[in-house]
Structure 1
Amino acid sequence: MAEGWVEFLQTLLPFILVGFGAQIIDGALGMAYGVISSSLMLALGVPPKAASASVHAAETCTTAVSAISHVLHRNVDWKLFWRLMVPGVAGGVAGAYFLSNIDGDLVKPWIQAYLVGIGLWLLWRGFRYPPKPRDARFVAPLGLVGGFLDATGGGGWGPVVTSNLLIQGSAPRYTIGTVNTVEFFLTLAISATFLVHLGWETFTTVTIGLLIGGVIAAPMGAWVARHVPAKPLMIMVGFILTLTAGYGALRSLALIG
């Protein structure tokens, strides 16, 4: 019995560490939990379907707390919320359905390439931080694409949607609050879609580990946000994501051992 528990904890530990690190970064930047978690789990050998399903199941809890906090602090632009939520959920459900019905080995290199792209984008954003203000024009198409990419890549809603809206000139407070509030409904819809198509067996040790690590790290993210400047942190995240996803992509294509 004791040996079984030790083996279970040894299996659980890597995913606790992944959830912990990803939540620290997300708490500081307001984004990147999904893409960091997915990139590291794919590097650990977790199949794309299980990685994305587990990330979104864990995020359902963390985004619920975040959404309640933003609503209570009146950080939500409800007009923007509805413009993002409907197409975002539609894109997320479509992406989860697509990923559930395709061979994981076939799609894995493309997911890794997408994560490399997000990493390079964060690097570019980091070196150009803060962005120049512009008028926000594209909201619904952005929500649709962001939701689809978030489901298929295991993350990306924050980097894609938040970054784009900020670049377009949206107010940071309401942009971050609204996008994070929408994310709860997005992750809930994506998790439900994975549950219908993949079953409960998809949510296993990976999900438990991510939840434990995320819960432990959640209070620390605010401390990191307060003491670490956003620019070097964003550059660091972009570098880590590009490196891990790039390595995974090369392994998926059998270009390295």
Structure 2
Amino acid sequence: MIEFSALPWADLLPFILIGFLAQLVDGTLGMGFGVFSNSLLVMFGLPPVTASAAIHTAESFTSGASGLSHVMQRNVDWPLFARLVVPGIVGAIIGVWVLTIVDAEIARPVVLVYLAAIGAYLIWRGPRRPQAYRRMKLVGPLGFAGGFFDASGGGGWGPLVTGNLLAQGMTPRMVIGTVNASEFFITVTVLAALIGTLGLASFTIAASGLLIGGVVAAPLGAYLARSIPAKPLMQLVGAVLIATSFYGLVALMFEPIPAFPRF
């Protein structure tokens, strides 16, 4: 465990900046912490496995701070939260179990193509149809699938759940806030299930920096999600879905490009 009073701040600063930017994107758009921070960490020279461990550890804290910030901004739909979080936890537990016996990567290309299609639909729909609250359908299965892929595939809660709820027509800031608030419980479930593998050894300088930067950015991301108009916010989410899905597909096709375990 790192002594925070003795942290080398000069070494921490790059990771604090990465955590801040990644959480700003995630808190504003409901996705992106993993792929954004993972890409930059590997560029800084960290092995992909080390980067993934640091992100899992930091995200268990930053997702809590982000969820609380969205609650304070009144961005959380509590009935929808309840319908998401329980199936999500069950899916995450099963996903961790499947990870130990089955190669879940076989489903990854299909999921990435599906998310890119959702992103294109959101960009097309954004300027054409206003978003308005209505009761969402298939929330339980969606939460289960999001938790399952987040655990077994190394990520996917934000893109899968946020993209689908927006495509169903819910108000963007309420989707983003609710998905961020419920993500804390999914992340903690996955981290607890994998604690034998990750352990406290994953709490490195990189994880500490990501945690500090992410916690600082969490209130700003929640505020931006509330402040940005619904139509451009939905198009931004669509653009992020397409970009991350395309990157994931390229990473699967070309061996020299790291196939980051979160998308």
TM-score by length of 2: 0.70
Which shifted more, 18-27 or 141-150?
Answer: 18-27
Partner of 1:64: 64
The aligned runs of 1:120-159 (5 Å cut-off) are 121-129=118-126, 136-159=136-159
Structure 1 residues 112 and 217: CA distance shift in structure 2, 3 A: farther
Structure 1 residues 87 and 40: CA distance shift in structure 2, 3 A: farther
1:195 Cα deviation from its structure 2 partner: 1.1
Structure 1 residues 28 and 118: CA distance shift in structure 2, 3 A: same
Partner of 1:210: 210
Task: Show structure 2 runs of 5+ residues with no match.
Answer: 1-5, 258-263
Q: Distance in 1 between matches of 2:239 and 2:115?
A: 13
Q: Is the 8 A contact 1:92 1:189 kept in 2?
A: yes
Q: Distance in 1 between matches of 2:46 and 2:107?
A: 15
Q: Distance in 2 between matches of 1:221 and 1:78?
A: 19
The aligned runs of 1:92-111 (5 Å cut-off) are 92-99=92-99, 101=100
Whichever residue aligns with residue 189 of structure 1, its letter is T
1:142 Cα deviation from its structure 2 partner: 0.6
Whichever residue aligns with residue 122 of structure 2, its letter is R
Q: Is the 8 A contact 1:112 1:248 kept in 2?
A: no
Which string of whole-angstrom CA distances, capped at 9 and with x for unpartnered residues, describes residues 134-156 of structure 1?
76220111111001112234432
Partner-residue secondary structure (3-state), 2:194: helix
The aligned runs of 1:1-257 (5 Å cut-off) are 15-38=15-38, 46-47=47-48, 50-72=50-72, 74-99=74-99, 101=100, 114=111, 118-119=115-116, 121-129=118-126, 136-172=136-172, 174-218=174-218, 220-221=220-221, 226=227, 229-230=232-233, 233-234=236-237, 236-252=239-255
Structure 1 residues 152 and 36: CA distance shift in structure 2, 3 A: farther
Q: Is the 8 A contact 1:15 1:210 kept in 2?
A: yes
Whichever residue aligns with residue 144 of structure 2, its letter is L
Partner-residue secondary structure (3-state), 1:252: coil
Which shifted more, 164-173 or 154-163?
Answer: 164-173
Which string of whole-angstrom CA distances, capped at 9 and with x for unpartnered residues, describes residues 53-108 of structure 1?
43332222222223333444554443332221111011122223444x379xx767
Q: Distance in 2 between matches of 1:201 and 1:116?
A: 35
Q: Is the 8 A contact 2:118 2:164 kept in 1?
A: no
Structure 1 residues 177 and 220: CA distance shift in structure 2, 3 A: closer
Q: Is the 8 A contact 2:18 2:37 kept in 1?
A: yes
**Structure 1 vs Structure 2: percent identity of aligned residues?**
44
Query: Which structure has more helix as a fraction of its residues?
Result: 1
Q: Distance in 2 between matches of 1:126 and 1:114?
A: 19
Structure 1 residues 9 and 157: CA distance shift in structure 2, 3 A: same
TM-score by length of 1: 0.71
Q: Is the 8 A contact 1:59 1:187 kept in 2?
A: yes
Structure 1 residues 151 and 41: CA distance shift in structure 2, 3 A: farther
CA RMSD of aligned residues (A): 4.0
1:179 Cα deviation from its structure 2 partner: 2.5
1:173 Cα deviation from its structure 2 partner: 5.1
Which string of whole-angstrom CA distances, capped at 9 and with x for unpartnered residues, describes residues 11-48 of structure 1?
x5664444233222123223322343345556766445
Structure 1 residues 117 and 175: CA distance shift in structure 2, 3 A: closer
Partner of 2:260: none
Whichever residue aligns with residue 55 of structure 2, its letter is V
Task: Show structure 1 runs of 5+ residues with no match.
Answer: none
Q: Is the 8 A contact 2:29 2:237 kept in 1?
A: yes
Which shifted more, 106-115 or 148-157?
Answer: 106-115
Q: Is the 8 A contact 1:112 1:246 kept in 2?
A: yes
